[in-house]
Amino acid sequence: MNEAPMGNARFFARSGPKTLADIAIAASAMAPDIVRMFTGVAPLHSAGPDDVSFFESARYADALDQTMAGAVIVHPRMRERVPSHAIPIVTTSAYEGWARVAALFHPAPPPSPGIHPTALVDPDARIDPSAEIGAFAVIEARAEIGAGCRIGAFASIGAGVAMGRDCRIGTHASVSHALLGARVYIYPGARIGQEGFSFATTKAGFLSIPQLGRVIVGDDVEVGANSTIDRGSSRDTVVGAGTRIDNLVQIGHNVQVGRCCVIVAQAGIAGSTILEDFVQVGGQAAITGHVRVGQGSQIGGQAGVISDVAAGSILMGTPAQPRKEFYRQVITLKRMARRPAGANDQ
């Protein structure tokens, strides 16, 4: 089967054609002052003469040599590698440029203002006229839906929830006890604001503790499909502006996530932990409760963090330890495993 073109028209609307000048402006890049039109974007190996592609990693040098793309977004040091038939679009941030050009040709679809006839909207809810409320969505009392928001089919917006402009709530997602900033994207199936995992142990069994906090989500945050963010118990759970949360992530009650953090799939962050700004947490990593992870730290995939982490640390393994120490231990174990049986016997 031939590879389908990028941005297949069955699923993705396309804007264009676009001039080379428009593309260069979108990418914050430099390009020759010539008149040329392009119709879309595509990877190096499948791009044609009317497509814009990009090159960032030397691993794909062969693909760059063989590409038929009409233009290629590249870093200045790679400009001379661009084939003579392709126009170099030069920027120091090629990947960022590619993201902006792809969005130029495939902008997010605008909302279709209005409330679907099957949606259930409480009379006390406030919905901006420019917002879109999808089929079978539920909007409870005192909820506030900002301008340009899109609420997907079967989504549930709880009582008192407020969201800023241009938010997107995916199908079957639920949001309760939460205040959302502008341009927040909650992907399908995510659960925001449910009760945290908190109880007292008594002689008669477990006694649930009321969860009386909220979830505060800053501007430009994305929460991936089927992820969960518990509301606070004694204080609010907070997700800082610009943070990206992958699919299937669990964030416990009272957690404080800083600005522009990245939390990858299947990671779990226990209650009352603090992630300072620009922390990166790898897939399947686990962070215990009541610890602080310093600014700019990187937690490797499947790492287990059980104590405070200094700013700028790079940790791996369980229990988590500095990367160099982790690799030193792995190398030592491999060397021991390769020794012949009885080699150390006297």
Catalytic residues: 253
CA gyration radius for the chain?
Answer: 25
First-to-last C-alpha distance (Å) of the chain: 64
Q: Mention every residue, 6+ apart, whose C-beta is less than 8 A from residue 215.
A: 177, 178, 179, 192, 193, 229, 230, 231, 232, 236, 237, 238, 239
Instruction: Give the type of residue at 134.
Output: G
Question: How many other CB atoms are found less than 10 A from the CB of residue 301?
Answer: 14
Distance between CA atoms of residues 346 and 344, nearest Å: 6
9: nearest Cα among 37, 36, 38, 39: 39
Q: Mention every residue, 6+ apart, whose C-beta is less than 8 A from residue 336.
A: none
80: exposed, middle or buried (Cβ count in 10 Å: 0-12, 13-18, 19+): exposed
* Max CA distance (Å), the chain: 86
Q: Is the distance from CB of 89 to CB of 72 less than 8 angstroms?
A: yes
Place of tokens 């929830």: 161
ω into 17 cis (within 30 of 0): yes
Helices (H), 67-138: 94-105
DSSP 30: B
140: exposed, middle or buried (Cβ count in 10 Å: 0-12, 13-18, 19+): middle
Distance between CA atoms of residues 228 and 192, nearest Å: 6
SS3 (DSSP) at 251: strand
SS3 (DSSP) at 64: helix
